[in-house]
C-alpha cells in the first residue's frame, strides 16, 4: 500500500521532521532504500548512513537529526518500524486455509478454529492444538502434547519426542519410559528444526510469548518462563527452570537441573553450569558475570605475550641466582 508520512506517523506514534506529504509504499535497509521507501535507525553506529541514504524517510530516535532525509522520530524506533512494516507489507499470506489434505491429524486430536496446517504436518493421538495456530511443513506434534492459541511452529520442528532418559545397569543403558508431555502456551513462536522433549513425568513447558530461533533443543522436564528470547543453537538440558524475559544468545548451553532467574541475559556461546540470579548478565564458558568475563577474555588474548614475559623473568632470576652462587 501507499501512505503519506503524516498518516504513517500517526499510526506508529512518531513525529515527522520534514515534509509530511511525502508517500512511501515499502521498507528497506538504509543502504538499499530508494525513493518511496522507508527505513529505520536504531543502532547509533549507523548514524553516518543518514547522510547517504536515498530513502524517503527514516524511523529514528528522538535525538537523531539529519539534513538529508525526512525523519519519523519516536521513543522506540525498532518497535515503531515493526508497526510500519506491518502496515506496509502485512504478514505472510498462506496459500490455503485450515488443514491441508497432505497433513495428518489423528482422529483423537483436536485442532482449534482458524489454525493452519501445512503439508506434511503430523498431529499425534490426543494432542490438542489451539486457535489461530500456524504449523509449517513437516512439523511433528507427538501424542498428548498441547499447544495454546496463536502458536507458530516453523518447518521441521518436533514437539514431544522422547526425552533422553536411560538407567545404566551393569553397563547396559535401559530406556526410561517418557510418559509426560509438552505444553506450549499462547503466542509462542518456534523456529525451524527445533526439538522439544516431552517430560519423563509431568510436562515440559514453554511459557507464553516466548520466541525461539532455529535449531534449539530443550531437554525433558524443563520449564521456560514467559516472553523469553532464544537465539539459534541454544541447548538446554533436562529439568532446568528458566524465569521470564530471559535472553539466551546463540549457542548457549545450560546444564541440567539449574535455575535461571528472571530477566537474565546470557551471552553467545556461554556455558551455564550454576544457577543464575534474577537480572544477571553473564558470558563465557563457564559462564561468569559480564564484568569479570570481559577482563578474563582480555587477559586470554594476551596469554602468549604473558608467557614470553614469564619465561624472560624466570631466565633473569636464574641468571641472578647463578651470579649469587658464584
100 is catalytic: no
Active-site hit among 174, 220, 245, 257: 220
Q: Residues near 304 by Cβ (< 8 Å), separated by ≥ 6?
A: none
* CA-to-CA dists, residue 44 to 41, 51, 266, angstroms: 7, 13, 23
Nearest to 186 by CA among 158, 166, 206, 212: 206
Q: Are strands 253-254 and 235-236 parallel, antiparallel or unpaired?
A: parallel
Q: What is the DSSP string of 50-116?
A: GGT---SEEEE-TT---SSSEEEE-S-HHHHHHHHHHHHH-SPPPSSSSB-TTSEE-TT-EE-TT-E
Nearest to 164 by CA among 197, 132, 115, 141: 197
Phi, psi of 46 (to 5 degrees): -95, 5
Nearest to 105 by CA among 120, 94, 90, 88: 120
Count of residues for the chain?
Answer: 326
User: Which residues in 189-207 are b (16+ Cβ under 10 Å) and which e?
Assistant: bbbbbbbbbbbbeebbbbb
Nearest to 251 by CA among 234, 228, 273, 271: 234
H-type helices in the chain, by residue range?
A: 5-12, 77-89, 290-300, 303-325
CB 289 within 8 A of CB 270: no
Q: Which residues are catalytic?
A: 220
Amino acid at each position: 500500500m501507499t501512505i503519506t508520512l503524516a498518516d504513517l506517523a500517526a499510526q506508529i506514534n512518531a513525529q515527522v521532521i520534514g515534509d509530511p506529504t511525502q508517500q512511501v509504499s515499502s521498507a528497506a535497509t538504509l543502504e538499499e532504500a530508494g525513493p518511496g521507501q522507508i527505513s529505520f535507525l536504531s543502532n547509533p553506529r549507523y548514524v553516518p548512513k543518514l547522510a547517504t541514504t536515498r530513502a524517503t524517510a527514516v524511523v529514528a530516535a528522538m535525538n537523531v537529526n539529519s539534513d538529508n532525509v525526512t525523519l519519523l522520530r519516536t521513543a522506540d524506533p525498532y518497535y515503531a518500524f515493526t508497526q510500519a512494516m506491518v502496515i506496509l507489507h502485512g504478514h505472510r499470506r498462506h496459500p490455503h486455509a485450515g488443514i491441508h489434505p497432505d497433513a495428518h491429524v489423528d482422529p483423537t486430536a483436536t485442532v482449534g478454529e482458524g489454525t493452519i496446517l501445512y503439508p506434511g504436518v503430523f498431529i499425534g493421538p490426543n494432542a490438542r492444538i489451539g486457535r489461530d495456530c500456524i504449523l509449517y511443513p513437516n512439523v511433528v506434534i507427538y501424542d498428548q502434547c498441547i499447544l495454546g492459541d496463536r502458536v507458530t511452529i516453523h518447518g521441521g520442528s518436533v514437539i514431544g519426542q522422547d526425552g533422553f532418559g536411560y538407567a545404566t545397569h551393569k553397563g547396559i543403558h535401559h530406556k526410561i519410559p517418557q510418559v509426560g508431555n509438552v505444553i506450549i502456551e499462547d503466542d509462542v513462536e518456534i523456529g525451524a528444526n527445533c526439538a522439544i522433549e516431552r517430560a519423563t513425568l509431568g510436562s515440559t513447558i514453554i511459557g507464553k510469548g516466548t520466541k525461539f530461533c532455529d535449531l534449539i533443543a530443550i531437554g525433558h522436564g524443563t520449564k521456560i518462563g514467559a516472553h523469553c528470547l532464544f537465539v539459534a543453537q541454544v541447548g538446554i538440558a533436562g529439568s532446568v527452570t528458566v524465569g521470564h524475559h530471559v535472553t539466551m544468545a546463540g549457542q548457549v548451553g545450560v546444564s541440567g537441573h539449574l535455575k535461571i532467574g528472571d530477566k537474565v541475559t546470557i551471552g553467545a556461546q556461554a556455558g551455564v553450569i550454576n544457577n543464575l540470579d534474577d537480572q544477571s548478565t553473564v558470558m563465557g564458558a563457564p559462564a561468569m558475570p559480564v564484568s569479570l568475563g570481559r577482563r578474563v577474555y582480555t587477559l586470554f588474548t594476551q596469554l602468549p605475550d604473558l608467557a614470553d614475559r614469564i619465561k624472560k623473568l624466570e631466565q633473569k632470576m636464574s641468571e641472578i641466582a647463578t651470579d649469587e652462587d658464584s
